[in-house]
Amino acid sequence: MQRASEMELMLQGYGMTTAQILYRMPDHPGLLQTFIWQHYDLAPKFPELVRFLDFWREKLDGPLHSVSYTHKRLISPNEWRNVSGELVVH
């Protein structure tokens, strides 16, 4: 299966999601480490972020402390319009 291009994802409503993940160090649980995750995702359910956090819980040793995220649709209805015509500049 071919992955959708970035433009196709944007037209489907996907936007850039950035998550700051704080997790406890496996050997030193009193210390927190930061991991930044960024991916195209679909608000408000964020299936890609949820899939990544499920992977983290199942496969990685550092227990999650907290996750904060931001999301920005890259193309919104007021930014996209069909323009027909041509302007020729000599």
Check: CB of residue 22 under 8 Å from CB of residue 30.
Answer: no
In a domain, 13, yes or no: yes
Q: Which amino acid is at 82?
A: N
In a domain, 83, yes or no: no
Q: Which amino acid is at 70?
A: T
In a domain, 38, yes or no: yes
Give the torsion through C-alpha atoms of 70, 74, 76, 80, to 10 deg. 170
* pLDDT tens for each residue of 56-69: 999 999 999 999 99
Check: CB of residue 87 under 8 Å from CB of residue 38.
Answer: no
In a domain, 84, yes or no: no
Check: CB of residue 56 under 8 Å from CB of residue 64.
Answer: yes
7-16, 25-34, 61-70: range with lowest mean pLDDT: 7-16
In a domain, 55, yes or no: yes
In a domain, 85, yes or no: no
Rounded CA gap, 42 and 12, in Å?
9
* pTM for this model (two decimals): 0.76
How many domains are there within the chain?
A: 1
Per cent of the chain over pLDDT 90 is: 60
Give the residue numbers spanning the domain of 43: 6-76
